[in-house]
Chains A and B, each alone.
Chain A
């Protein structure tokens, strides 16, 4: 009886508030206690979906003439550039990621144990930072080319210069160097946990060790490679800095310039929709591969295969093959940035401006992380309380942001928040006679919203991974011992998933800190983070304090890499 009364208070309110959405959300779930969790989860999912819907609506508003201009002059080039970039990065990351994963999983050679985790280090370098670093390093007047000229005996860059890094090839190489860990990670895990028995069976059936890679390991790893490549390509699509610095006119750049320089919102929205098609393709690829992966996972106890010790020249070749990506993707740019940052620091110290930007970055990321964690907890916990199919759908929608390029999300939010801001401005002016300015965008709320939409998936995923480790019998025990849903969360789930929550917090925080594409579009006027500072300097071609900002981002970015490396070791 107490239940029926408490139910109606929450349930009736929710039913009145969202009559349409109630269909989706399993009317049943809302009637139960804990319905508020389902409702909150639904609202969060809606928040993630709103930018995309707004974008579609805005794109439809665009005038015919504009669209034909875009379709003829902008889109074909941008689309082909993006497709070439993605194809190149896809092949490169697949080759590097799978190659090094096979070497460290199947063979033993000097330095293998260190390389196993060092191969993750390029993850700490965002795409726009590696582009920035190499652009500076390989500048015709930069240190690298000067040394080569000196060695070869040329005097001036006019006599000899390396091919320009500012090209499609350069972009593919640099992105490949920092994105291959997305492939390396799942493929290595696949080799470590699944391959042992199959490889041994292949051996006893007379397959030579050399052929095993082609005949057993690669076919086995195909789904893992596809998952990794699709994630790497999502990052490629999200990238704005590297393409800009390296002169690749990708879709992302077109969206950005169409809005920023031409103030053509409808046009930008239309290009963004074209990007969305690529996003859908990538998500489908990933989902397909994950389904495959599930099937190929066998029930037997995972066991890593016995590594074959390499001898002679082979061991050094293996070492170099694995060392090269780390060297080029992390050690070289990081060392260069450290040296440049030190030079700048000795020359000018830390400017107040840079410190203020660091503080901005920290506060913004910390607040966003708190919001993202809280929302992730709500969605993951609601999915646990109501394991219905409808809640799974809500959960999936809420996790969509990871695939969505920051530019798309930011544009959608910009349209929505801009409209809302204008409306708020009009209302307050009419009622109070004050012009509040742009409330949502000016306060950074819009930017926080973009971070929430983009990084919610990380937090949902991590929290969920933590929650699934807690047996359901704990929930039921706590409930029958007189604790409600909220109290069970507080006393059982939170203490038991502390580790997962802190890991999620770290990952989200670092991602917020590195975020560039949405930040560029949505930051309040005169508000700079470390990433936008670096972008500004690189875009202007002035190299002042950017090295310090870049170094700071890379150093903080190493933290989640350490976390990942430790997780990997734990599972192996």
Chain B
């Protein structure tokens, strides 16, 4: 879907070791120009290290290559220092310089410009982001949301080729976070900025990313648009990372997986008779009071306001299945119900540890 866009940044086989421990291995990636890319993964998966390597404050192991707008910035024979890369970086803690006013912070990255030009650029970015009333203040007197906006403005002021953001919203309260996130994305879109946002929150990645790069233990698990990542996860890990799943093991035969609650077709190249894994999203399940469908029993209900989380038990199955209901369920705990399935939300994968390249 984004494949035909020009790429602003290309990584080729970027790896990084710390004291013999591999943090990133063989990352190859193209970041589309003018779009927002989310690096998503658990903490410790290497996404922040990757961001630091792109910015130039850390360097990849020899062998990797980084090309920024067609020019090599890191490679076997060359390394461009961060100050010469035209990259903007926004930190989780914003890293506003406490001894400078907001205006001086904004002008900090503009020292290559003349005085009037610098003032012009500051005014421009201040107007776009709406900071005019804060210019004379010091960072410590700003609220969290204001600090975030100043940090964004400071990073954008030198008009970087690409903006890197490390968990830019995680320091904000829940209520504020969504608003600031929307505003930030608006600004990035209006300025046509190429941005890479690191986050550990799948909801955030789905909400703001044009492209999501899901990482796992220093490798790329899957790259795709939010819909691709959510609807066609490439692995059980990807499926579970993007949202809760019920995992069911079943036997693979004739292009289908056979589980106690049904048989589901899937596009998998597995020999018949091997075990496979079905990941069923909670929203693929629904229950009805009557006796049509698979017979089940309600084991527990947890009301969360927006929806109700229901644990159900299907007879031959050892584990409980979890589902969400957005309508009130009149049945109580212990009641018999019947279970329905929506096949589109069921993803089938080889059993964990199965290596398709190893078949005989």
Contact = CB atoms under 8 A, between A and B. Distances in A.
A481 interface: yes
A476 B155 CA distance: 12
A471 B95 contact: yes
B52 interface: yes
Interface string A472-484: 0111111111111
B81 A3 contact: yes
Interface residues of B, number: 33
A7 B84 CA distance: 13
Contacts of A476: 52, 55, 57, 82, 89, 91, 95
Contact of B111 (A3, A32, A475, A482): A482
A571 B57 CA distance: 33
A474 B95 contact: yes
A73 B201 CA distance: 77
B79 interface: yes
B91 A477 contact: yes
A1 B80 contact: yes
Contacts of A331: none
Contacts of A473: 91-93, 95
A33 interface: yes
Given A477-B91, A480-B89, A496-B98, A2 B80 contact: yes
Contacts of B80: 1-3
A1 B77 CA distance: 9
A7 B98 CA distance: 32
A482 B71 CA distance: 18
Interface string B36-67: 00000000000000001001110000000000
Interface of B is mostly: loop
B231 interface: no
B145 interface: no
A480 B57 contact: yes
B97 interface: yes
Nearest to B79: A3
B261 to A, nearest CB: 47
A566 interface: no
B214 to A, nearest CB: 25
B69 to A, nearest CB: 14
Contacts of A491: 108
B8 to A, nearest CB: 16
Contacts of B91: 473, 476-477
Given A2-B84, A471-B93, A476-B89, A481 B158 contact: yes
A479 B97 contact: no
B97 A3 contact: no
Nearest to B160: A480
A482 B95 contact: no
Given A474-B97, A491-B108, A495-B99, A480 B84 contact: no
A3 B84 contact: yes
B87 interface: yes
B81 A479 contact: yes
A519 to B, nearest CB: 39
B81 A484 contact: yes
A474 B98 CA distance: 10
Interface residues on A, range: 20 to 34
A432 B63 CA distance: 57
A492 interface: yes
Nearest to A28: B59
Given A473-B95, A491-B108, A480 B88 contact: yes
A480 B112 contact: no
A476 B55 CA distance: 9
Interface in B103-126: 108-109, 111-112
Interface string A456-472: 00000000000000010
A393 to B, nearest CB: 16
A253 B260 CA distance: 92
Contact of B89 (A2, A7, A471, A477): A477
Interface in B289-322: none
A536 B20 CA distance: 60
A481 B83 CA distance: 6
Nearest to B78: A4
B78 A482 contact: no
Contacts of A474: 95, 97
Nearest to A492: B97
Contact of B158 (A1, A32, A482, A492): A482
A389 B23 CA distance: 19
A477 B108 CA distance: 10
Nearest to B87: A480
B219 interface: no
A483 B83 contact: yes
Interface string B118-162: 000000000000000000000000000000000000110010100
Contacts of A492: 97
A479 B79 CA distance: 14
B81 A33 contact: yes
B85 interface: yes
A482 B83 CA distance: 4
Interface string A2-13: 111001000000
A483 B56 CA distance: 13
A480 B108 contact: no
A476 B58 CA distance: 10
Given A471-B95, A492-B97, 13 more contacts: A1-B71, A2-B80, A4-B79, A32-B79, A474-B95, A474-B97, A476-B57, A477-B97, A478-B108, A480-B55, A481-B108, A481-B158, A482-B109
16 contacts: A1-B80, A3-B80, A473-B91, A476-B52, A476-B95, A477-B91, A479-B81, A480-B82, A480-B88, A480-B89, A480-B164, A482-B83, A482-B84, A482-B112, A483-B83, A492-B97
